[in-house]
Every structure is written in C-alpha cells, then in structure tokens.
Amino acid sequence: MAKRLTQQDIARMAGVSQATVSLVLNNRTDSGVRIADETRARVLEVIRRTGYVANPIARRLHDQRNRILGVFTYEAVFPSTRADFYQPFLEGIEEQAEEVGCDLLLFTSAKAAGGRRRIFNDDSRIRLADGCVLLGRSVDRDDLAQLVAEAIPFVSIGRRDDAGGPVPHVGADYPAAVRDLVDRAVALGHRKFAYVGAGTGAESSADRLRGFKQAVAAQGLEGTHVQFAGLDQLRGNGITCVLAEEVSDGAALVLAARERGLSVPGDLSVLTLGAATRPAPDDVALTGFRIPRREMGRRAVQALTEVLEHGTTPQELLACEFVEGTTLG
C-alpha cells in the first residue's frame, strides 16, 4: 500500500523546502511572505501531477479546533420509537453543522451503565468534540453541574435551571405559549380550566404549568392541576377547557369524550401543549402549539458556535407557533 505523500515529498520533487510548499498551498501573499512566480508554478505543477492533498489530521493539530461538534443524548437516537422526538431537532442540528463546516459526533460509546447513558463515566469521551449539544427531555443534574464546573463548551436544547452556574440553552417559550392558549380560550368564553400532566420534574413540564398558573391568575379565574385526566372528575368540577401536556393524553381525552357521546369542542375543549414523550394518534386535529424543534436545533448549534468563539453563555427561548385544530371552541 502506497504511503501517503507528504509536503516533504512534494518539496523534494520541486527542489524547495517544506515551508515553501505550505506557503504555496495556502496561497499566502500577506506581509513578509513572497514566492517567485516561477517557483510557485513549479510547486503547483508537482502538486497537480501527484494529486497531493494535505493531511487533514496534521492540519487540525495546528489550529486549536477540530471542527467536531458532539451530540449527546441519554438514549439511542435512531430507533423509530424515538424518531418523533429526536428527528426534528437533529434535522436542525445537521443543517447548521453543515453550514458552519463541522462534523457531528454521536456519543454512542457512552455505555449505558444501568440502561441510561451518562456523560461522565470512567472514560468520558465528551472532550473529543470542540463542544457539545445536549438533547433530551430531562438532563442529569450531576452531569450538568460537572459540565458547568469544568467549563466544557456546551448548549442544552431545552431550558435548564442553574446547575452551579447558568446553563447555556436554547429552549421553547412554554410559559408564553401556554398563556396564549389560555387567553384564547378565555376570549371564547371559557372560565374553568384544568391542566393535565406532570407539571414538574423536567423544566419543560414545570414551565408549562407555570405559564398556566400565571394566565389563570392574571384573568382571575379558576385553574386546577391534575396528573392524569379523569373525564368524570373534570366534568364534575364544571371544567370546560383542558390543557394536556402530552399530545397523546390530549388525543386520548378527545377520543374518550366522543366515545361517551360528548362533543369536542362543543361540551369540552381540549388543548395540547406539544409534549411528545409517547407516540400519539395523528387522526385527532388537536388545537395547541407547535414546538419549533428544528429551529431549536439550528439555534443550538449557532449558540454553541458563539460559546466556542466568545465564551459567552447564551440563553434563549424561541416562540411556539399556535396551531389551529378542531378541539377549541
């Protein structure tokens, strides 16, 4: 197997020094560097003849960037059961990575010590990348704290509470989106609301519930919070509008109501808050909002670029887009 050509080889063939080859190759014409046209031509001719291409490895060693961005997820990204959630984010990430000329490193080697991957284990490879995008509904708090403590350049997709310091993130503005939904419902005459879902745990859940509470408080209305949707219970309390954190919960509620002979949105309005932890039927046109997942992916990579270049700590919330369905009236 023919050994790869080096600049030294080219230099020898052209009867010049390795430095000259490098200068010609990089077309350096700035101050203090001059190569005679005749020499330049001779070197270029040898390069053309041999088809020499600079070894990217050696080249990267010199500047301080590998042009590799890491993508960390707490579970495998490709299984189709996870596709609904990860896919749109990754699409944006890939797009922007292509834009800035970086390759993406998926940390598949992070062995699941007990089912779930960890960023920091005895042989963490996180530093292989120049920086890292964190992807997942929730993020291990210890991992997060360590990332901050060790000043590893990273950006979380999804807002994160401080963890021993501010956490750079690109999230969705759930409070605003939920408030908007409540306000629309109020405008249509609704007065008694229920929030169905965890409302706690992951920041994304807490943010939604917070938006809900803010909205009902601002309107001076009643709003209750339950973990699970009990149709009878809701109806019994005179609730006319339900906000379901999970899309699948919302859809299930609509189907259950209709099965019971109730009209949606005639008797009950159901709004969804976009969470897609579980796959949901797509034959129910729920009213709610769309999480700008792809855009979040793009922005996360842009933010990471800023972190890498200026050492900043970007935090940004993107607006969610209202989706006109058939379940609000």
Partner DNA sequence: AGCCTGTAATAATTCGAATTAGCACCTTGA
Partner DNA sequence: TCAAGGTGCTAATTCGAATTATTACAGGCT
The residue within the footprint of DNA, chosen from 45, 49, 50, 59 (CB under 7 A), is 59
39's contact among DNA, a second copy, none, with CB below 5 to 8 A by partner kind, is DNA
Instruction: Give the nearest distance from C-beta 12 to a second copy in angstroms.
Output: 17
* Nearest alpha-carbon partner for 299 in 99, 144, 150: 99
CA 258 and chain centroid, separation: 36
Task: By CB under 8 A, tell whether 120 contacts a second copy.
Answer: yes
The whole-angstrom separation of Cα 200 and Cα 215 is 18
A 10 A CB-CB count for 280 gives 19
Instruction: Give the nearest distance from C-beta 6 to DNA in angstroms.
Output: 3
Tokens representing 184 are 């629309």
Binding mask 5-34 for DNA (x = CB under 7 A): -xxx------xxxxxx-xx-xx-x---xxx
Instruction: Give the nearest distance from C-beta 26 to DNA in angstroms.
Output: 5
The residue within the footprint of a second copy, chosen from 122, 259, 283, 324 (CB under 8 A), is 122
The residue within the footprint of a second copy, chosen from 4, 228, 236, 283 (CB under 8 A), is 4
User: Does residue 153 have a cis peptide bond before it, meaning omega lies within 30 degrees of 0?
Assistant: no
Report helix angle 37-50 to 18-25, nearest 10: 90
The residue within the footprint of a second copy, chosen from 39, 66, 214, 219 (CB under 8 A), is 66
Single-letter amino acid code for the residue at 294: R
Instruction: Give the nearest distance from C-beta 180 to a second copy in angstroms.
Output: 27
Tokens representing 24 are 């010609």
User: What single string gives the DSSP state of each residue in 39-88?
Assistant: HHHHHHHHHHHHT----HHHHHHHSS---EEEEEESS-S-SHHHHHHHHH
A 10 A CB-CB count for 209 gives 22
Instruction: Give the nearest distance from C-beta 163 to DNA in angstroms.
Output: 24
Binding mask 70-109 for a second copy (x = CB under 8 A): ------xxxxx--x---xx-xx-xxx-xx--xxxxxxxxx
- Residues 6 or more apart whose Cβ sits within 8 Å of residue 85: 137, 276, 277
Give the residues lining the site for DNA (CB under 7 A): 3-4, 6-8, 15-20, 22-23, 25-26, 28, 32-36, 38-40, 54-55, 58-59, 61-64
Give the residues lining the site for a second copy (CB under 8 A): 1-5, 48, 50-61, 64, 66-68, 76-80, 83, 87-88, 90-91, 93-95, 97-98, 101-109, 111-112, 120, 122-128, 146, 150-153, 308-311
